[in-house]
Amino acid sequence: MSVLRPAPDEPLRLVAVHAHPDDESSKGAGTMARYVREGVEVTVVTCTGGERGDILNPHLQGDEEIARNLPAVRRAEMARAQEILGIAHEWLGYVDSGLPEGDPLPDLPEGSFATLDPAEAARPLVEALRRLRPHVLVTYDENGGYPHPDHIQTNRVSMEAFRLAADPAYAPELGEPWEVAKVYYTNVFHRQKLAVVARHLRTHQMPNEELELMLQHFDESRDRLLTTRIDVKDYLDVRDEALRAHATQVDPEGPFFRISHDVEREVWGTEDFELHISRIGVQLPEDDLFAGLRPEQEEGR
């Protein structure tokens, strides 16, 4: 097995692993849309069906038919977002764990995604990595980006799959071993970005109350390292359209959409990532998840 750079005529490939349908559209959708339009093969793997998600769109709350058929509705929403972004998509097939609330917190539902042994739960993702052969894997950090049990489990399962997919002794029935060159943690929401945007809005007499409240809940000392920033200024409309496709999960007039694209482009027009592991040499900071992997870069070494 050889690593890791594609041949000159070989397409670049990226796999992004997410916990629920809608996560792919709120966390890095602009980056995926950009790479798809540049010819990269992008696949989103969704770990659960989002069966226990609440209906967050106030315009749809109380709709009994949607509530009864939420798993099917969320699959249809995911299919629409997939079409908008131009990505390939696969389900791992695990059951949403829900977000426990209360003091003390209740136990997670038996058999739900976050209750499973990560090494065992990683098996279908190992098969997917060996079959899809991505050069780049994107997932969440150890805290899940925020501490939802399925997001934390997504990190654990992703990192197990990254390790096991490259091990020729592990489960040969799942395909030929494959070494993913680079693993990134998505870092779309962080205090540094939110603070810059909030300061710009205050300076121009356009304060955003929701943004100011969000800032109160961010501990700057816990911001992740920003190693890689992807320019998505031309893909903000696609990102928003994909997010609105998840109609049960997003208020189309809600805080996600209250900061104008003009402000975003002027103040912080990137989606941000943390390079967690690389099996190739890198130079930081980066403006490309495939930095060091493009054939023309190899030729220039």
Annotated binding-site ranges:
20, 23, 151
Antiparallel, parallel or unpaired: β 270-278 and 182-186? antiparallel
Q: Are 189 and 145 in contact (CB under 8 A)?
A: yes
Q: Kindly tell me the burial class for residue 113, based on how many C-beta atoms sit within 10 Å of its own C-beta (0-12, 13-18, 19 or more).
A: buried
Question: Which residue positions form the known binding site for Zn(2+)?
Answer: 20, 23, 151
Yes or no: say if 300 and 13 are a contact pair by the CB < 8 Å rule: no
Angle between helices 191-203 and 209-216 (to 10 degrees): 140
Kindly report the number of other CB atoms within 10 A of residue 198's CB atom: 19
